[in-house]
Amino acid sequence: MPLKSKTLATWLTLVFGPLGLHRFYLFGLQDTLGWLMPVPTALGLWGFERVEAYGLDDPLSWVLLPIFGLHVAACCLQAIVYGLMTPEAWNARFNPQAEMTVQAGRSNWFTVFALMISLMVGTAALLSAIAYGTQRYFETVLEQQKEI
């Protein structure tokens, strides 16, 4: 069985995390969560299509877009968790048949770059989701108060 690289897992989580490919790499094709991860991604993309078709006043897109942002932020957080794992913890969890200090569990500069990008993208996605959701909520509340 080949050893699972921490750097590759971190990059897969960052780039293809919303599709669940990192889960298949780490846990195999039988991983249920890996098969469910594209669902919030598809819902978020549907929200973008609804905004394009119906504008920003579409109430369903107010829910769908923050779901996408939170999902991307969660994937970036998972990439950070993978990238910051110690080699011993990584190898104990994902390479139990190998020695604790084998190269696959070690970090390198590619891991550090993935961590930096994950932090930036995850922060932007989370703040965007929060800002969009709260803005739409308060606009709705103000419109309801005007009707009263």
pLDDT of amino acid 144 = 85
Secondary structure string (H, E, C) spanning 65-127: HHHHHHHHHHHHHHHHHHHHCCHHHHHHHHCCCCCCCCHHHCCCHHHHHHHHHHHHHHHHHHH
- Structure token digits, residue 74: 């969660």
| Chain centroid to CA 92 | 24
pLDDT of amino acid 97 = 87
Structural domain boundaries of the chain?
6-147
Taking only the tens place, the pLDDT of each residue in 54-85 is 988 888 988 899 999 999 999 999 999 999 99
Q: What is the mean pLDDT of each run of 10 residues along the chain (148 residues)?
A: 91 96 96 96 95 88 92 97 93 86 83 96 96 88 84
